[in-house]
A and B are shown apart, each in its own frame.
Chain A
Amino acid sequence: MADTGVLETLLQRVEKVDDGVDSLAVATSLGVDHQVIVGAVKSLQALGDVISAELRSSKHWELTEEGTEIAEQGSHESRVFSCIPQEGLAQSELMKLPFGKIGFSKAMSSKWIRVDKAHEGGPRIFRTVESIDDQVREKLLLVQKGHSTQLEEKEKNELKKRKLLSEVTVKSYWITKGNSFSTTITKQETELTPEMIASGNWKEKKFKPYNFEAMGVAPDCGHLHPLMKVRTQFRQIFLEMGFTEMPTNNFIESSFWNFDSLFQPQQHPARDQHDTFFLSDPAHAHEFPQDYLERVKKVHSEGGYGSQGYKYDWKIEEAQKNILRTHTTAVSARMLYKLAQQEKFTPVKYFSIDRVFRNETLDATHLAEFHQIEGVVADYGLTLGDLMGVLHQFFTKLGITKLRFKPAYNPYTEPSMEVFSYHEGLKKWVEVGNSGVFRPEMLLPMGLPEDVSVIAWGLSLERPTMIKYGINNIRELVGHKVNLQMVYDSPICRLDS
């Protein structure tokens, strides 16, 4: 808070005039630094509507360091003139003086002095006039006293060129009376205290207004990761739809459950070293349901269950190879096999959201591991129309209502459909997931009844999260390179809004 004296003086000044005063003019007339007045203005503003102050900027002329020196001691040329005695001065002596060189040439051009080059003992300088009129100094003095308006623009510019003057921009306030103008200041309380409440004297006090423009203090708390927030919402959606969560806590899977049980042939490119992470330790799985394995082998190599099969030499060694699972459908296969072992088939709806691994080339949207969201429904007589109906309900919960389906190929579903939704922002259809009906060659060897159909769909968790939180590089979202500030700042996740 500025000195109360200054505040009151300023208020008195404002009171005397009708159309207001300039803070700079007040500072000059009070003989104080302009910043003191600026401080007073700020303090008065904080008291409420006592005054109103409008920020203005004006240009004015100021003396440079050299200019100030001249205003005090005279211009270089006048100092040269005054140091030359009647009998003259050796040029070499003059040049030794700090102002000698410039002063000499200026004094010469003003014809105040002359040089006698033939003088014995070297060139010597003599006065040519009796007295001089040091106009430069006078002009500078005018500026110094704040009367620069008395000078012509041309003169000022000339002095500017000599680096004696500079033009500076000054910000000042134009101060006028506010709605609750008063020349006296009441000291305001900043906060309510327990004592005030006890004594009741808060009734007489005036309180300093709060600055509602400022931000509050951030609460001291932890934050959940945005990808996990989205995962929670997807879990919620599945649970709302009556889907039971599958136990997907097994990253290591055998090729048998990941591929063979899904009727994915052993030469399929997805089973290539370039696409899948194989294990060196433990390299092989050692336990399979033996009769089921035989049925899988037969359907691949010879066919059966109405299928031609792939007609190739199916090898147990290929099926034993351990891998990092490439999809959570490996778990769905285990669950469906388990379901088929029940005495009596019961309809099920399953879901899972967990990590899967691909030995792929990495880029801004692809990592070697990502989360797969998967939904599976097994019941008697499910149709392709049912699959599309379930997908419609699922995506509606995500706020996506415009869906269409494109035929696609997938080794373990037939029909297979890619799911597209209309993106209002991009004005085009974008792929949002994959879906299909599991092939009989996958289901029948498990022992599921022939008239049971299993429909399924999948999508990645990362993609909708990146869209939701506006993240372009997947590494800023997943993994240790995450930007924690992004985690701190991420809003709650409501997928349908």
Chain B
Amino acid sequence: ELCFEFGLELDEITSEKEIISREQGDTKASGASDVILYKIDVPANRYDLLCLEGLVRGLQVFKNKCNRYQCDLPVDPMFAALHSPQTEAVRPHAVAAVLRNITFTQERYDSFIELQEKLHQNICRKRSLVAIGTHDLDTISGPFTYTAKRPGDISFKPLNQTKEYTATQLMSLYKTDSHLRHYLHIIEDKPLYPVIYDSNGVVLSMPPIINGDHSKISLKTKNVFIECTATDQTKAKTVLDMMVTMFSEYCAQPFTVEEAEVVYPDGKTCIYPELAYRKEKLSGKFINQKVGINESTEKIAHLLTRMCLLSQATGAGDEIEVEIPPTRSDIIHACDIMEDAAIAYGFNNITRTTPRTYTVANQFPLNKLTELLRQDLAAAGFTEALNFALCSQEDIAEKLGKKISEMRAVHISNPKTAEFQVARTTLLPGLLKTIAANRKMPLPLKLFEISDVVLKDETKDVGARNSRRFCAVYYNKSPGFEVIHGLLDRTMQLLEVKPARGEGYHIQTADDSTFFPGRCADIFVRGKNVGRLGVLHPDVINRFELTMPCSALEMDIEPFL
């Protein structure tokens, strides 16, 4: 319940034992722990709630249990990380910091590793934007050099391996690693790979793939060197801030961090972590108006403070000054602060009101026509089908006796299966597949669909447009062309078009490889070809795994608007 109010979703309550037995079977689970685990869904932008430390702190502040989460981090002697120009092309940014005299327990250590992994998956976009490396500072010595070298020239003993490999060897070694192989593509085809050395030439890491074994951290590690390399500097800073703010409470002097100086190729230096506290000023009226509440300025400041945003009324009117801590990188606009006030107030405590917005409703004319036609086509004895807009190339081309190159089809570049290769250019294949899946039903089968197909169209900004089609099929022991023809006559009657050449409608012999020769006609309405009807070619019937004769009609309904 508390979680719900705070915007967290308690997914399930389980234990390691249950998870393992579900995934791997009961036998393997016997040794696992019975400790109850709470799986919690965290909003995707709240990186500060990804570890237990942050979550507990956030909830305690929310419940007024502790006034404010402390994280003033005084400066200690600096640590330099040199940045060399070669990294520019592959992974141009690096930031670093040191946690001194930290005390790990098994639980803290696990949480520390887990946070890194979660950040890697989340904000770091599977290490492509940012990669985190953590090292036992007592095994290495600064200043460190961040550079990039040819894969053959990098050689070190990687984490948890017993011998040295060159970077080239490592890339092939990890091809089969279920975890690391997902990150190889990030640098694989680059001429130079990023690498970090200490002053003695010891390799700390080859980001974003693997750390060196030499500097690996353990439960006994006292001083942790954290480096983040990145393609996105803002995210690198956020990730570093997150790592140090979450775990600095385990330092001998809680909530302290030692800074690192990063020297850039151009000689410019920067101090990290930034741990930037930002102040925003906004009015109580703004919050009240946007949320739809009426609270005093002091009350609102208190609400915000409960959300880890230390706030106070400045006294100048209803002005509130809000301090945004480095842990809340999600706050980028006053509306984010407003949301926190609403959450602290409780969404479900807000009075539900009706806006006085006066408007007159209009239907989209094409949809209005579609709705009306559907009703009458069902009344004419045809049953409505509903098929996918995506299909295989084969469905719209080969199976209909056509060539894909001749279709104005839109092609998908990343389909997971053949079912999603193209957007349909005709409704006919969908209806024929529906019949094939319902062959056991009593004959005749009479189906229709009114829906959109997609066609390439150079005149549109995206180079394609939808076209609203009406398609119907009749499937029985005899082709029943007269039935489909009758349906066309009925449709035209409904659309107030008379059978006549010129201003009315008429049909006229056509050649189409989808249809049986001599049994196909074009539909002309006011002199314009709007579609086609006929008896399907036996080859088409076979390719859709059907056995009976079938006649079909497909036409564009947009000309009737």
Query: Could you list which residues of chain A lie within 8 angstroms of chain B, going by C-beta atoms?
Result: 220-225, 227-228, 232, 235, 238-239, 241-254, 267, 269, 273, 277-288, 303, 305-312, 322, 324, 347-349, 355, 357, 359, 367-369, 377, 379, 381-386, 388-390, 392-393, 404-409, 411, 414-417, 437, 439-441, 453, 478-485, 487-488
Q: Which of B16-24, B211-219, B435-443, B525-533 contacts A (4 or more CB under 8 A)?
A: B435-443
Please determine whether A283 and B355 come into contact, CB atoms closer than 8 angstroms.
Answer: no
Please determine whether A282 and B410 come into contact, CB atoms closer than 8 angstroms.
Answer: yes
* B457-478 contacts to A (CB < 8 Å): 461-466, 468
Please determine whether B359 and A393 come into contact, CB atoms closer than 8 angstroms.
Answer: no
Known A322-B463, A482-B437: A383·B353 in contact at CB below 8 Å: yes
The contact string, 1 if C-beta is below 8 Å from chain A, for chain B 205-246, is 000000000000000000000000000111100000000000
Q: How far is the CA of A388 from the CA of B352 in the complex (A)?
A: 5
Please determine whether A277 and B462 come into contact, CB atoms closer than 8 angstroms.
Answer: no
How many residues of chain B get a CB closer than 8 Å to chain A's CBs? 95
Q: Could you list some 9 contacts between A and B, CB below 8 A?
A: A223-B378, A235-B371, A238-B361, A245-B363, A280-B413, A307-B332, A414-B335, A484-B438, A488-B383
Interface residue? B415 (CB, 8 A): yes
Most chain B CB within 10 A, of A288, A386, A406, A481, is at A406
Please determine whether A221 and B378 come into contact, CB atoms closer than 8 angstroms.
Answer: yes
Known A235-B371, A250-B462, A406-B9: A384·B347 in contact at CB below 8 Å: yes
Please determine whether A479 and B342 come into contact, CB atoms closer than 8 angstroms.
Answer: no
Q: A279-B413, A388-B350 are in contact. List 18 more A-B contacts (CB 8 A).
A: A238-B361, A252-B410, A278-B412, A281-B411, A359-B414, A359-B415, A368-B388, A369-B390, A384-B350, A388-B353, A392-B352, A414-B335, A414-B336, A439-B335, A453-B290, A480-B385, A480-B433, A487-B384
Please determine whether B353 and A222 come into contact, CB atoms closer than 8 angstroms.
Answer: no
Q: How far is the CA of A267 from the CA of B433 in the complex (A)?
A: 39
Q: How far is the CA of A367 from the CA of B342 in the complex (A)?
A: 35
Known A409-B43, A414-B335: A348·B359 in contact at CB below 8 Å: yes
Interface residue? B289 (CB, 8 A): yes
Please determine whether B347 and A355 come into contact, CB atoms closer than 8 angstroms.
Answer: no
Q: Considering only CB atoms, which chain B residue lies closest to A361 in the complex? A: B416
Q: How far is the CA of A284 from the CA of B360 in the complex (A)?
A: 37
Q: How far is the CA of A104 from the CA of B335 in the complex (A)?
A: 109
Q: How far is the CA of A463 from the CA of B366 in the complex (A)?
A: 25
* B1-52 contacts to A (CB < 8 Å): 4-7, 9, 43-46
Interface residue? B381 (CB, 8 A): yes
Q: How far is the CA of A108 from the CA of B336 in the complex (A)?
A: 109
Total contacts A to B, CB within 8 angstroms? 280
Give min CB distance, A481 to chain B, whole Å: 5
B233: chain A residues at CB < 8 Å are 311
Please determine whether B462 and A254 come into contact, CB atoms closer than 8 angstroms.
Answer: yes
Interface residue? B339 (CB, 8 A): yes
Q: How far is the CA of A392 from the CA of B347 in the complex (A)?
A: 13
A308: chain B residues at CB < 8 Å are 332-333
Please determine whether A249 and B452 come into contact, CB atoms closer than 8 angstroms.
Answer: yes
Select B410's contact among A235, A254, A281, A312, beta carbons within 8 Å.
A281
Please determine whether A405 and B357 come into contact, CB atoms closer than 8 angstroms.
Answer: no
Please determine whether A312 and B232 come into contact, CB atoms closer than 8 angstroms.
Answer: yes
Known A249-B366, A281-B410: A441·B333 in contact at CB below 8 Å: yes
Q: How far is the CA of A220 from the CA of B386 in the complex (A)?
A: 21
Most chain A CB within 10 A, of B364, B390, B414, B462, is at B462
A306: chain B residues at CB < 8 Å are 333-334
Interface residue? B515 (CB, 8 A): no
Please determine whether A407 and B363 come into contact, CB atoms closer than 8 angstroms.
Answer: no
Please determine whether B44 and A409 come into contact, CB atoms closer than 8 angstroms.
Answer: yes
Give min CB distance, A220 to chain B, whole Å: 6
Interface residue? B508 (CB, 8 A): no
Interface residue? B552 (CB, 8 A): no
Please determine whether A369 and B389 come into contact, CB atoms closer than 8 angstroms.
Answer: yes
Please determine whether A409 and B367 come into contact, CB atoms closer than 8 angstroms.
Answer: no
Please determine whether B335 and A287 come into contact, CB atoms closer than 8 angstroms.
Answer: no
Known A406-B4, A414-B339, A482-B386: A286·B362 in contact at CB below 8 Å: no
Please determine whether B463 and A278 come into contact, CB atoms closer than 8 angstroms.
Answer: no
Please determine whether A368 and B454 come into contact, CB atoms closer than 8 angstroms.
Answer: no
Q: Considering only CB atoms, which chain A residue lies closest to B128 in the complex? A: A267
Please determine whether A267 and B232 come into contact, CB atoms closer than 8 angstroms.
Answer: yes
Interface residue? B498 (CB, 8 A): no
Q: How far is the CA of A451 from the CA of B361 in the complex (A)?
A: 24
Q: Considering only CB atoms, which chain B residue lies closest to A312 in the complex? A: B232
Known A222-B380, A244-B362, A369-B389: A388·B347 in contact at CB below 8 Å: yes
Most chain B CB within 10 A, of A235, A482, A484, is at A484
A357: chain B residues at CB < 8 Å are 389-390
